[in-house]
Amino acid sequence: MNWPTKLPLIAILRGITPDEAEQHVGALIDAGFDAIEIPLNSPEWRKSIPQMVKTFGSQALIGAGTVLKAEQVDELAGFNSQLVVTPNTDAQVIRRAVEKGMTVAAGCATASEAFTALNAGAQALKIFPASAFGPEYIKALKAVLPAEVPVFAVGGVTPDNLKTFLDAGCVGAGLGGDLYRAGQSLDVTVEKARAFVQAWQEATR
């Protein structure tokens, strides 16, 4: 069960607007990112996500985060969205997304939630909030999970601590506020994206 992108860092663009999306997503792809998530609590996501899938869908895995309902999955499938990231473990949402041929990174915190997500067909797990649990917790959880399941640390991951989560067994991370905050300039996005890509390269040499 392999993660389908070259760089296992998911860019989380919470709060991005349709007018900003193309520039920022383009800059992230130029920096080396190939998995982009626009959370459904962002303004006008019904415009942003289909636009980004149309513009960049051949270069990156593009989709939605904070997906809470099966109906939202149906809507995303209509946009040819390829990625579904959930904050929680909802078997119905996971199953629906898998049926639609999407890659699912399911949010979980405990072994019970992790196995519920895997049994529903999730291809990857997202440990959230990772910084609150810490690398040792993730390492312990990884010990009972199937070795081939990609685990992502999400929440509080920075270029400085990325390596500790990778060392704990994570394949990669989902990057929110430490990569993108609503309204930030394109220059800041470029700078932060490069810092994360560099941290990843150094940690995996």
pLDDT(111) > 80: yes
Instruction: For residue 155, give the nearest of 65, 72, 26, 84 by alpha carbon.
Output: 65
If one looks up domain 10-204 in CATH, what number appears?
Answer: 3.20.20.70
pTM given for the model: 0.97
Residue 75: the pLDDT is: 98
Does the pLDDT at position 146 exceed 90?
Answer: yes
pLDDT reported for residue 164: 98
Instruction: Give domain limits for the chain.
Output: 10-204
Closest-CA residue to 93 (of 112, 113, 121): 121
Burial class (CB in 10 A: 0-12, 13-18, 19+), 185: exposed
Read off the pLDDT of residues 50-93 as tens digits, 9 standing for 90 and up.
Answer: 999 999 999 999 999 999 999 999 999 999 999 999 999 999 99
| Residue 86 φ/ψ, nearest 5 degrees | -110, 150
Cβ neighbours of 127 (radius 10 Å): 27
Could you give the residue numbers annotated as active site? Answer: 37, 126
- Cβ neighbours around 104 below 10 Å, total: 26
